[in-house]
Amino acid sequence: MGKIPSISLPPMLSCPRHAPCFEDGRCYVIKHMKFSVVVRAFGKNFRIYNDDPERYFKQISGYLDFNEPEYFRFHVGGDIPCQDYYDRIVKLCCAHKKTKFMFMTKCYMDEHYIHWMKAKDYSIDPIMSNITLYPVPSNLSIIISSWPGYPIPPYLKAAFPIAYLEDGIEDRIPEDAHHCLKHCDECYFCWFAKEKKKDVVFHLH
């Protein structure tokens, strides 16, 4: 991430149960789990959250208070483990409005994160009319992480930018999508993808 601070959780343990990226063995984060320092850091973060969610987010908030970074990313590795975790992210974003936050997620693959899967400006599907919508903070960029061949619900495509994996097979990539060829701290595109109304493409690595 270079100059951009981030926090991660262990892949698989925090990811959706059916995430195809580790089922077919191409999860790029797992490749880095051979380094013990990465395993310990990701595992420690997960233990702290599971044991004391308040402490976990207070530590992140303390870091943000002291350093006041312009950008912050959740989950270079791992994903949102539950609705409570997302709700706390929202509170954190609202408390630190000078920082721009971003995360990519495959949580839609488990189909139980409907509460936050819709942006506040998206008209409610009649089938989901009884669902409470959680407005996405203006300083939070949510990007739906796809996988070649895995279906993306239409209402998500209408509400959020999509991150595609270019592996030579993916045929859904829009012609005007942004191809990521730089490090995050050289580009920052993903923090503004919603405003730019463009999807992003990552080449298999």
Q: Is the pLDDT of residue 186 over 50?
A: yes
Look at residue 15 in the predicted model and tell me its pLDDT: 84
Beta bridge partners of 141: 102
First to last CA, the chain: 15
Residue reference for tokens 């312009």 = 70
Look at residue 120 in the predicted model and tell me its pLDDT: 45
Least confident among 3-7, 37-41, 180-184:
37-41
- Round to whole Å and give the CA distance between 145 and 162: 6
Look at residue 32 in the predicted model and tell me its pLDDT: 62
Residues 6+ away with beta carbon under 8 Å from 151: none
Q: What is the DSSP letter of 160?
A: S
- Round to whole Å and give the CA distance between 118 and 163: 16
DSSP helix/strand/coil, 40:
helix
Note the helical H segments in 52-139.
53-67, 83-95
Q: Is the pLDDT of residue 111 over 70?
A: no
Q: Over the chain, what is the mean pLDDT?
A: 83
Q: Tell me the pLDDT band of 125, cut-offs 50, 70 and 90.
A: very low
Q: Kindly list the domain boundaries of the chain, sorted by start residue.
A: 6-203
